[in-house]
Chains A and B, each alone.
Chain A
Amino acid sequence: MIELNINGRTQSVDAAPNTPLLYVLRDHLAMNGAKFGCGLGQCGACTVMVDGDAVFSCLTPISLLSGRKIKTVEGLGTIENPGPLQRAFIEEQAAQCGYCIAGMIMRAQALLEKNPSPSDAEIRRHMMPNLCRCGTHMRIFRAVRRAAQAMQAGATPAAGKGRA
C-alpha cells in the first residue's frame, strides 16, 4: 500500500510502485479529470500538479509521490461550485470536445499559483506542453487570462471554494 496526498486527503492505494499516477487516479480512485492522451509526455492531457508544479501523471510513478501534495482538477472545485479557473473556462465556453481541458486547467493553475499576473507571452509559453486538437486555443488562452484577473480581484489561486 502506498499513501498519496491527493487534493488534501490521504488515500491508501494498493498498486505496484511503478504504476504511473494517471492509472491510480483513474482506475484505483475512479477520478475522471486526468486523461490518457499519449503516455509519452507529449500532449499534457494527463497534467496534474505535484507540490505546485504541473507534471505529466502518465509518466510519474507513484513510488516518487509519497509525502508530496498532488492536486487534480477535482481539487479546484465542483460542477456546482467551480473554482476560478473552472469558472473562467465555463464563462469563455473554452471547450469543444473538452478532452484536453482538465490538463489545460491544471497547467494554468500551476502558472497562476506562481505568477498571478502572467503576460500574454508567458501564458502562451507556459501552455506549450499541452495539445488541443479542436483548436480551442484562443478561448483557453482567454479563460486563463480571465481567471488571472478574477484571482487578482479577489479569490486566491488555490481557491476551490468547494473543497481543497
Chain B
Amino acid sequence: MNASDIGREAVSRRDFLAAGGALIVGFSLASSSRLFAQKPAAGRKLPGSLDANPMLDSWINIDADGSITVFTGKAELGQGVKTALIQIAAEQLYVQPQRVSLITADTRRTPDEGYTAGSNSMKDSGTAIMNAAAQVREILIARAAERLAVAADRLKVQDGAVVAEDGRRMGFGELVGDALTQTRAEAQSKLKDPATYTVVGKAMPRVDIPAKVAGGAAYVQDLRLPAMVHARVVRPPSYGARLRELRAAEVEKMPGVLKIVRDGSFIAVVAEREFEAILAMRSLAAAARWNERPTLPAAPDLFTHLQSLPADTIIDFDKQAPAGAAARRLAASYRRPYQMHGAIGPSCAVALFKDGALTVWTHSQGVYPLRKSIAEMLRLSEDRVQCIHVEGSGCYGHNAADDAGADAALIARAFPERPIRLQWMREQEHMWEPYGPAMLTSVKAALDGAGSIVAWEYEVTSNTHSMRPGGAGNLLPAWHLDTPFAPGTPKPIPLPEGGGDRNAIPLYRLPNARVVHRFVPAMPVRVSALRALGAYMNVFSIESFIDELAQAAGIDPVEFRLRHLDDARAREVVSLAASRFGWSSYAPAAGRGRGFAFARYKNLGAYLAVAMEVDVVRETGAVRVVRVVAAVDSGQAVNPDGIRNQIEGGIIQSASWTLHEAVEFDTTAIRSTDWSRYPILRFPEIPESVEVHVIDRPGEAFLGTGEAAQGPTAAAIANALAQASGARIRELPFDRKRVKAAIGV
C-alpha cells in the first residue's frame, strides 16, 4: 500500500466516522411510540417490520439530488443481507441497484428491528423495504401526476425518474420534497408484478466482497479512529473464579501502558499500541490470583446430569386420531454436546466515552437491545448511548459480540476522551462465548403393517437457546463487576419459532403424536443461540429416526418420506434433491453410503432436502462427506447465488459440527481453549462437490434460509454413515473415536 492509498483510506475512515458517529439525522424514530398509539386498534397489520416502524422515511430517504438511501435495522453478518435488501429496494423503485445506498443497524439512524437472527431478515426487513419502496414510488408518481397534470396511470417510472408519454420527466429528487416526511405506510402496496422483475431473482455480486478480498476496511476490527488506543481484558480462568489479588504496579510501568482498569473481578488494560496491550494483558494475567471453585458437571456424566436437572414440561403438540394398528414399535435417543460458534476473528468493539455520552461500534446482532443493556450496566440513560453495527467475523448466532461491546463500554468509561479498541484473544473467545446447549432427545414410534407411522412420541431436553442481552445481566463483564449484575432468568422461546423445541414437531403426517419439551432452567455451562438453535438437534434426531423407521418398514427412505409428506413444496424439494443426486440408481462402493434428510426450517421458513454420499475408513474411523446435493425452496428468491452460498456454507459448517465438535471441560474450567482442543473441519476433508438447487417461487413470501441446512446435514451424514458402516450413531459428534467404537474396530 503506498502513501496516497493510506491517505485515501484515512479520508474514507474519517467519512465513516462522520457518517456513523457525529451526524445526527432527524427523522421519525423519536415519534414511533406516539405513532404506535395512533394505530387503529383493529387495524390491519403492516407487512414485515413496517408494523413496528410504520413511517416511510424511517426506511427510505430520497435527497433533492435524487440519491436514495435505504435504512434497515438488520445487520450484515456475512450472510449477504445488504445485497439482497438493495436488490429489493432497487426493484420496487425501478432504479439500478448501484444507485441505492444502504445504512444498517444503528440506534441513531435505523429502525429497531430487534436481532438479526432466526433467518428472519428477509421476512422482516426485506418485506418492509419492498413495501416501503413500492409505496414511495407510488407517492412520487402521484406527485408527478399533479405537477405534470397527467393521470398517474399514464406515467412510467424509469431509472429514478417519473416519465410522461410525451417525454417530460421529473427526477425522484425534484419530486420528493416533503412527500415522505411523517408519512405512514399503508397496509396495501402496489407491488411490481414478479414476472417483470429485473433485479430480484437474479444473482447479484455481493456489495461487500471486493473490500474483503483487497484489504479494504471491512470490519470493526479494521476501524481506526483518530487518537484511538488499544485495550485487552484479563478474564478469570474459569466460570466460578473471583479475583483475590492483583499486583499491577509493575504492569503500570510497562511500555505504552496508559491505564489499568479494575472493577471487582473485571480487569483490563489500555495501551497506545495493540501489541503493548497484549504484553501488558499477559503480565496482568500472571499478576492476578484467583479463587476458583468447581461449578461444572463431570464431563462423562454430562447427559445423566442434564437429564437429572429440574425441568419444566411444555406440551408442544398432542394429537390423537384413528389410525391403523401398530405392527412394529421402535425407540431411540440422541445426544448433542455443547458446541461453539467459534468465530475465526475474536470479538471486537470500539468505544468512545466523551461528554457523558458513549458510542459503541459493535458487531452485535442487536444494536438496540445492546444499547439498553449497556445503558443499564453503566447506569446511563439510553439516549446517552449509541450502538452502531459494523461487520465482524461471522458469528452464527449470539457469540461474544455483545460482551466485547460491554467490555469496550466499561473500559471507555474508565478511560474517556479517546476511542478504545478492544479485541478478545483466542482463548477468551473459546472459553467465554455462550455455546449452543447440550441436548437430549428420545423418540418412540409405531408402524402399521403397511409401513405407515401410526404413533409418535418425542421428548427434547434442553436449556434455553437465548440468553441475548435483554439487560445488563446477560453481558459477561457485568457478572464480574464489584457490584455485579446477575444473569437474567432463562426462558424458553415459544413456538412456532421455538428454542430447544425448534423443529421438534415433524412436518410428516402423523395421526397420533405427542411432542414434549423438557425445559431445563439451570445452566452449568454458559449457553445461548447458536445457528438453528434446537432445530439442529431435533432435525438430526427426527430425520435419523425416520431412516430407522424406513429401514424397519423395508421402504426406501426417500419414498418413506414422500409417503408421509402432504405439503407439495416439501415433496418437491425431496424429489428434486433425490433425482439430482441420482438416488434411485446409486450403488455404494466399499466403505461408502448414501443418506437423505429433509426439514422445513422452523416449520415456517425455507424447505430443504439434502442427499449425500459419505466415505468411512474403518481402520481410522474417519468419516468424509464425498458428494452433496441439496434442494431449497426459499419462496421468492432474491439473490439465488446468495441462497446457494448460505446453503453450501451451512452444509459444510454443519458437517464440521457433526463430525468433530464438542466443547471439553472439567469440573472447574472449559478446556477447549483453542483450535487444538476444539478441532473443526479443514480443507483436506471438504467434499468433492456440493450442489445446491434453488427452487424460485416468484411472488411468494420470502422464507428464512440462513439456518435451513444445519439439521438436515447432520441427519443425512448419520444416515449415510449407517449405510456405509452398518453402525447407527446417535450421539454427536461422529469423531474417529466414536465411529471406531460403533463399528467395532
Interface centre among B214, B224, B425 (most CB of A within 10 A): B214
Of the candidates A38, A124, A134, the one whose C-beta lies within 8 Å of that of B653 is A134
Interface centre among A29, A33, A45, A93 (most CB of B within 10 A): A93
Indicate if the CB atoms of A135 and B209 lie closer than 8 Å.
no
Give the nearest-CB partner of B393 in chain A: A99
Chain B residues within 8 Å of A9, by CB: 2
CB of B159, distance to nearest CB on chain A (Å) = 24
Indicate if the CB atoms of A135 and B653 lie closer than 8 Å.
yes
- A93-B205 contact, Cβ under 8 Å, with A27-B275, A30-B224: yes
Indicate if the CB atoms of B1 and A7 lie closer than 8 Å.
yes
Indicate if the CB atoms of A93 and B684 lie closer than 8 Å.
no
The verdict on B6 contacting chain A, using a C-beta distance below 8 Å, is yes
Count of A-B contacts with CB under 8 A? Answer: 197
Chain B residues within 8 Å of A1, by CB: none
Chain A residues within 8 Å of B255, by CB: 16
The verdict on B138 contacting chain A, using a C-beta distance below 8 Å, is no
The proximity string for A residues 74-106 relative to B, scoring 1 for CB distances below 8 Å and 0 otherwise, is 111111001000100110010111111110010
Expressed in whole angstroms, the Cα–Cα distance for A141 and B648 within the complex equals 13
CB of A49, distance to nearest CB on chain B (Å) = 14
Indicate if the CB atoms of A163 and B211 lie closer than 8 Å.
no
The verdict on A150 contacting chain B, using a C-beta distance below 8 Å, is no
Expressed in whole angstroms, the Cα–Cα distance for A38 and B343 within the complex equals 10
Indicate if the CB atoms of A40 and B645 lie closer than 8 Å.
no
Of the candidates A95, A131, A134, the one whose C-beta lies within 8 Å of that of B213 is A95
Indicate if the CB atoms of A78 and B344 lie closer than 8 Å.
no
Expressed in whole angstroms, the Cα–Cα distance for A106 and B445 within the complex equals 53
Expressed in whole angstroms, the Cα–Cα distance for A24 and B479 within the complex equals 34
- A96-B683 contact, Cβ under 8 Å, with A37-B345, A132-B344: no
Which chain B residues (645-691) contact chain A, with CB distance < 8 Å?
645-646, 648-656, 674-676, 680-684, 686-687, 689-690
Indicate if the CB atoms of B213 and A31 lie closer than 8 Å.
no
Indicate if the CB atoms of A43 and B344 lie closer than 8 Å.
yes
The proximity string for A residues 135-160 relative to B, scoring 1 for CB distances below 8 Å and 0 otherwise, is 11111010000000000000000000
The verdict on B111 contacting chain A, using a C-beta distance below 8 Å, is no
The proximity string for A residues 17-48 relative to B, scoring 1 for CB distances below 8 Å and 0 otherwise, is 00110010011111111011111101101000
Of the candidates A73, A133, A136, the one whose C-beta lies within 8 Å of that of B645 is A136
Chain A residues within 8 Å of B205, by CB: 90, 93
Indicate if the CB atoms of B393 and A74 lie closer than 8 Å.
no
Indicate if the CB atoms of A133 and B683 lie closer than 8 Å.
no
Chain B residues within 8 Å of A97, by CB: 77-78, 344, 391-394
The verdict on B555 contacting chain A, using a C-beta distance below 8 Å, is no
Expressed in whole angstroms, the Cα–Cα distance for A99 and B215 within the complex equals 10
Indicate if the CB atoms of B687 and A138 lie closer than 8 Å.
yes
The verdict on B9 contacting chain A, using a C-beta distance below 8 Å, is yes
Indicate if the CB atoms of A131 and B652 lie closer than 8 Å.
no
The proximity string for B residues 371-403 relative to A, scoring 1 for CB distances below 8 Å and 0 otherwise, is 000000000000000000001111010000000
The verdict on B346 contacting chain A, using a C-beta distance below 8 Å, is yes
The proximity string for B residues 231-271 relative to A, scoring 1 for CB distances below 8 Å and 0 otherwise, is 00000000000000000000000010000000000000000
The verdict on A54 contacting chain B, using a C-beta distance below 8 Å, is no
The proximity string for B residues 1-42 relative to A, scoring 1 for CB distances below 8 Å and 0 otherwise, is 110011001100000000000000000000000000000000
Chain B residues within 8 Å of A139, by CB: 645, 648
The proximity string for B residues 621-664 relative to A, scoring 1 for CB distances below 8 Å and 0 otherwise, is 00000000000000000000100011011111111100000000
A: number of interface residues (CB 8 Å): 63
Interface centre among B641, B650, B682 (most CB of A within 10 A): B682
Give the nearest-CB partner of B691 in chain A: A138
The verdict on A117 contacting chain B, using a C-beta distance below 8 Å, is no
Chain A residues within 8 Å of B222, by CB: 32
Indicate if the CB atoms of B675 and A135 lie closer than 8 Å.
no
Interface centre among A7, A9, A96 (most CB of B within 10 A): A96
The verdict on A5 contacting chain B, using a C-beta distance below 8 Å, is no
Chain A residues within 8 Å of B648, by CB: 135-136, 138-139
Chain A residues within 8 Å of B107, by CB: none
Indicate if the CB atoms of B1 and A93 lie closer than 8 Å.
no
Expressed in whole angstroms, the Cα–Cα distance for A125 and B216 within the complex equals 28
Indicate if the CB atoms of A95 and B206 lie closer than 8 Å.
yes
The verdict on A130 contacting chain B, using a C-beta distance below 8 Å, is yes
Of the candidates B391, B423, B426, B645, the one whose C-beta lies within 8 Å of that of A93 is B645
- A93-B683 contact, Cβ under 8 Å, with A79-B216, A131-B675, A135-B652: no
The verdict on A59 contacting chain B, using a C-beta distance below 8 Å, is no
The verdict on B79 contacting chain A, using a C-beta distance below 8 Å, is yes
- A138-B652 contact, Cβ under 8 Å, with A26-B274, A27-B275, A40-B426: yes
Give the nearest-CB partner of B639 in chain A: A93
Indicate if the CB atoms of A86 and B645 lie closer than 8 Å.
no
The verdict on A127 contacting chain B, using a C-beta distance below 8 Å, is yes
Expressed in whole angstroms, the Cα–Cα distance for A146 and B278 within the complex equals 39
The verdict on B534 contacting chain A, using a C-beta distance below 8 Å, is no
Indicate if the CB atoms of A128 and B214 lie closer than 8 Å.
no
Indicate if the CB atoms of A133 and B343 lie closer than 8 Å.
yes
Expressed in whole angstroms, the Cα–Cα distance for A105 and B213 within the complex equals 8
Chain A residues within 8 Å of B641, by CB: 93
Which chain B residues (577-607) contact chain A, with CB distance < 8 Å?
none
CB of B610, distance to nearest CB on chain A (Å) = 14
CB of B121, distance to nearest CB on chain A (Å) = 14
Give the nearest-CB partner of B211 in chain A: A79
Of the candidates B6, B208, B652, B690, the one whose C-beta lies within 8 Å of that of A98 is B208
Of the candidates A39, A75, A77, A131, the one whose C-beta lies within 8 Å of that of B680 is A131
Indicate if the CB atoms of A137 and B209 lie closer than 8 Å.
no
CB of A134, distance to nearest CB on chain B (Å) = 5
Indicate if the CB atoms of B345 and A35 lie closer than 8 Å.
yes
Indicate if the CB atoms of A98 and B645 lie closer than 8 Å.
no
Indicate if the CB atoms of B213 and A42 lie closer than 8 Å.
no
CB of A111, distance to nearest CB on chain B (Å) = 12
Of the candidates A15, A45, A123, the one whose C-beta lies within 8 Å of that of B345 is A45
Of the candidates A27, A102, A105, A128, the one whose C-beta lies within 8 Å of that of B682 is A128
- A133-B394 contact, Cβ under 8 Å, with A93-B205, A128-B682: yes
CB of B521, distance to nearest CB on chain A (Å) = 30
Expressed in whole angstroms, the Cα–Cα distance for A109 and B392 within the complex equals 25
The proximity string for B residues 62-104 relative to A, scoring 1 for CB distances below 8 Å and 0 otherwise, is 0000000000000001111000000000000000000000000
CB of A144, distance to nearest CB on chain B (Å) = 10
Indicate if the CB atoms of A36 and B345 lie closer than 8 Å.
yes
Of the candidates A31, A38, A138, the one whose C-beta lies within 8 Å of that of B674 is A38
- A77-B214 contact, Cβ under 8 Å, with A30-B9, A134-B394: yes
Expressed in whole angstroms, the Cα–Cα distance for A134 and B649 within the complex equals 6
Indicate if the CB atoms of B683 and A124 lie closer than 8 Å.
yes
Interface centre among A29, A102, A134 (most CB of B within 10 A): A134
The verdict on B217 contacting chain A, using a C-beta distance below 8 Å, is yes
Expressed in whole angstroms, the Cα–Cα distance for A139 and B644 within the complex equals 11
Of the candidates B6, B219, B686, the one whose C-beta lies within 8 Å of that of A99 is B219
CB of A33, distance to nearest CB on chain B (Å) = 4
Chain A residues within 8 Å of B78, by CB: 95-99, 134
Can you list 22 pairs linking A and B with CB atoms under 8 Å apart? A19-B275, A23-B274, A30-B9, A35-B344, A36-B221, A36-B346, A40-B426, A40-B674, A73-B214, A74-B5, A74-B214, A74-B215, A78-B5, A90-B205, A93-B641, A97-B391, A99-B219, A134-B653, A135-B653, A137-B652, A138-B687, A139-B645
Q: Other CB < 8 Å A-B pairs besides A19-B275, A23-B275, A135-B651, 19 of them?
A: A28-B273, A30-B9, A30-B10, A39-B278, A42-B675, A43-B675, A82-B214, A95-B213, A96-B79, A97-B394, A98-B213, A101-B213, A102-B213, A125-B683, A133-B344, A134-B78, A135-B653, A135-B681, A141-B683
Return the 6 tightest CB-CB contacts between A and B, nearest first: A97-B78, A135-B652, A97-B394, A98-B212, A33-B215, A135-B649
